[in-house]
Structure 1
Amino acid sequence: MTRRSSAPLLLALAAGVSPAAGARADETRANETRADETREEVPSTIAVLCAPGDRFGLRVVAELESLGFRVELLDPAAEPVSRASLEASARQAGAIAAIRAIPSGRGVEVWIADRVTGKTVLREMASRAGDGGAEELDDAALALRVVELLRASLLEASLPEPPPGELPATPEIREKLRVPAPSALADAPAPAHPQPAPAHAQELHVSLAPGVLLSPGGLGAAVSADLGLAWMPSEHVGVVAFAAIPLTSARHERPDLSVDLSALLVGGGVRFTPRARRWAPSADLGLAALSLRTAGLVAGADATTGESSAVTVAPFTRLGLAFAVTPWLRLRADVLTGAIVQGVSVQIEGNEIATWGRPFLLSSAGVYIRWF
């Protein structure tokens, strides 16, 4: 009996198996290619790396899904965080970006691998300590900041010369994150030259304030009504005018005589004030005209009366402070001081009874109304 060689049989089996195995291998490669192509056709996928049940990671997922993104959850296990591992996870999920957050001493450390701009963003976000409700609220706020950080990274794709990345910023991505196309910025008109700040509007103020007029020299104080007008053509300098109308007289009284003096002041000058704020101080310098009238009575068997008048001028300074109740109404207090060079001498029968005007002081407080 002749022994036949087994080589032809082995060759035949090999020939029969090779086509089937090759077909299955080709089919497997085709399926993987189709899977990769399918993943690349979903440009709105974001990979989020977090442990199962991680509360903060789920918050990030919820924020992304609310924007219409498809989220791929990946378990990083014990893999250390790095740019290379994060980019690999994004490619594995067919995602445009991968996000991973790890606890830090102050809160969380967020890593974002952005395949559209080709860069990795690292940011530490501080959290707030508190009760359970506060921590839950803080997780939601931090998750929103993570999404905004991703959006800020993707915004670089809108630059006229965007950074090179692995994936283009598709219209779908631009719509979801409202990222403008580079051409939109390139074709945008150049910003106009900045306009100068508007000039200070001219203002006219009217004031009404009761006041007290007094001067050392033997006569008492008198009550007056202080009417004022201020025109401010600029923010810091203006012109003022005022009139102090006497309501009572300054009196000097003794058993044998009495003397009354009434003083009408009319003046004008320049006002200086700093930048208008709620509290606004001011300083006025000017010249005042004074109309003085005296009336005296000498008691006794031969009672006599007498009157006299005089007009003079005197320089004055006035310091004021206004408090803005509304843009149109202010409360204001002023102190005006001046001096008549020679002073006024009140005499009866050649005898000096009192003096007035070296110096004089008018203090008032009232309302200050903006007319326009």
Structure 2
Amino acid sequence: MTRRSSARLLLTLAALAAGPSLAADARADEARQEAPSTIAVVSAPGDRFGLRVVAELESLGFRTVILDPAADEPASRAFLEASARDAGAIAAIRAVPSGGGVEVWIADRVTGKTVLREMADDAGDAGAPGRDAALALRVVELLRASLLEAALPAPPPGELPATPEIREKLRILAPAALADAPSPSPPPPALRVSLAPGALLSPGGLGAAASLDLGVAVMPSEHVGVVAFTAIPLTGARLDRAQRSVGLSVQLTGAGVRLTTRADRWAPSADLGLVVVSLHGAGMAVRSGFGDGESSAMTVAPFLRLGLAFAVTPRFRLRADVLASAIVEGVSIQSAERDIATWGQPMMLSSAGVDLGWF
């Protein structure tokens, strides 16, 4: 065997011998990279407080690794960051005794911050189980508060990204999702004013009349409020007969309670109350059970009004309403002392217009 052949054989044997070790190291490095939610706890083995912190972290689903610090190694940012990197962890925690309790160091590689916090010992003697549990829980909450900064629209720059696994464990949104998340919708305006043309109709011989419906609604709560409205006549209901033409002008003024549902776009409503009906006749006598006059009368009736609003903006809506009512004793329209028509059993006002919110 030549010298060159011997050297080649030795290299081959050395590579075969080192293969398992290199493969193991590669698998360890790969496992380390695939453990994005590992937390390093720098604590002496068997330390009760360190073990309690580990238990709290593992209850949240984090993987943990305990690192034994050198006896003379002081707590510092450089030491913690190096410990986290060596362990392939996203953060390292170390707690050292202090005069008033414990001094907690947290190196967070996701936000690139190192947090130092003095935690007072308010739970009893050092080493007591209750004391360890209370302080460990506060340490974990301090870590969570630091990691939650990764959800800010402009998160602090760190060595590692906040992976989906970390976000799932902490229930935090990605910055882009947080920026795109819809903000809570403001409450709708409590005072609304409506303006709507409409048509007033009642069977009994007279035709329909045009009116202008003006309304005000005050909604101190989302579902219940009060309303008031008036329907101003624009034209009168007319009846044309041979050699005689008569007309009736009707104004409605009402108030009641509004029931509605909160909706982003569509808002149905129902109004219940009483309406005062004022009638004025031209060329006729108007008589009702509530009050009589040669050409005018007034009466009161209950009403039900159903409405539907569509919100173009929170303050500007399009709405339509239908009001139904009935005068109990009815209204008699007389000409030459003879009844020629009746009105108000029942009556209906339909309107469509705009609804404006102010406050």
Unpaired runs of at least 5, structure 1: 1-73, 75-84, 99-112, 115-146, 192-196, 299-305
Specify whether residues 156 and 368 from structure 1 end up closer, same or farther in structure 2 by C-alpha distance, changes over 3 A only: farther
Amino acid at match of 2:282: A
Cα distance, 1:171 vs. partner? 1.2
1:220 maps to which of 201, 207, 223: 207
1:236-272 deviations in Å (ceiling 9; x for gaps) = 0000000000000000111221110011100000000
Conserved? CA contact 2:188–2:314, under 8 Å? no
Query: CA RMSD of the aligned region, Å?
Result: 3.8
Amino acid at match of 1:179: I
Matched position secondary structure for 1:217: coil
1:179 maps to which of 75, 90, 93: 90
2:231 maps to which of 219, 244, 250: 244
Quick one: distance in 2 between partners of 1:215 and 1:307? Answer: 21
Conserved? CA contact 1:241–1:268, under 8 Å? yes
Specify whether residues 313 and 186 from structure 1 end up closer, same or farther in structure 2 by C-alpha distance, changes over 3 A only: same
Count of matched residue positions in the alignment of Structure 1 and Structure 2? 227
Structure 1 runs (4+) greater than 2 angstroms displaced: 88-91, 153-160, 162-170, 172-185, 187-191, 197-202
Matched position secondary structure for 1:171: helix
Quick one: distance in 2 between partners of 1:175 and 1:353? Answer: 99
Which residue of structure 2 lines up, in the alignment, with residue 92 of structure 1?
Answer: 25
Aligned 1:61-210 pairs, distance under 5 A: 91-93=24-26, 97-98=29-30, 113-114=31-32, 150-151=35-36, 153-154=37-38, 160-161=53-54, 162=57, 163-165=63-65, 171-172=81-82, 174=84, 179-182=90-93, 183=104, 184=106, 186=139, 188=141, 203-210=190-197
Amino acid at match of 1:356: W
Cα distance, 1:160 vs. partner? 3.1
Matched position secondary structure for 2:329: coil
1:17-69 deviations in Å (ceiling 9; x for gaps) = xxxxxxxxxxxxxxxxxxxxxxxxxxxxxxxxxxxxxxxxxxxxxxxxxxxxx
Which residue of structure 2 lines up, in the alignment, with residue 40 of structure 1?
Answer: none
Amino acid at match of 2:328: V
1:74-126 deviations in Å (ceiling 9; x for gaps) = 9xxxxxxxxxx9xx767524x8641xxxxxxxxxxxxxx34xxxxxxxxxxxx
Conserved? CA contact 1:202–1:234, under 8 Å? no
Specify whether residues 202 and 278 from structure 1 end up closer, same or farther in structure 2 by C-alpha distance, changes over 3 A only: closer
Specify whether residues 201 and 329 from structure 1 end up closer, same or farther in structure 2 by C-alpha distance, changes over 3 A only: closer
Unpaired runs of at least 5, structure 2: 1-18, 43-51, 58-62, 69-78, 94-103, 107-137, 146-183, 286-292
Conserved? CA contact 2:38–2:65, under 8 Å? no
Amino acid at match of 2:90: V
1:196-253 deviations in Å (ceiling 9; x for gaps) = x999676000000001001000000000000000000000000000000000000011
Conserved? CA contact 2:199–2:350, under 8 Å? yes
Cα distance, 1:181 vs. partner? 3.7
Cα distance, 1:275 vs. partner? 2.0
Aligned 1:30-41 pairs, distance under 5 A: none
The normalised TM-score by structure 2 is 0.55
Specify whether residues 155 and 332 from structure 1 end up closer, same or farther in structure 2 by C-alpha distance, changes over 3 A only: farther
Amino acid at match of 1:92: D
Specify whether residues 219 and 173 from structure 1 end up closer, same or farther in structure 2 by C-alpha distance, changes over 3 A only: farther
1:360 maps to which of 338, 343, 347: 347
| Sequence identity percentage | 54
Specify whether residues 357 and 166 from structure 1 end up closer, same or farther in structure 2 by C-alpha distance, changes over 3 A only: same
Which residue of structure 1 lines up, in the alignment, with residue 176 of structure 2?
Answer: none
Conserved? CA contact 2:39–2:64, under 8 Å? no
Moved more, 153-162 or 214-223: 153-162
Specify whether residues 175 and 211 from structure 1 end up closer, same or farther in structure 2 by C-alpha distance, changes over 3 A only: farther
Matched position secondary structure for 1:207: strand
Quick one: distance in 2 between partners of 1:175 and 1:262? Answer: 88
Quick one: distance in 1 between partners of 2:246 and 2:84? Answer: 91
Cα distance, 1:297 vs. partner? 6.9
Cα distance, 1:165 vs. partner? 3.6
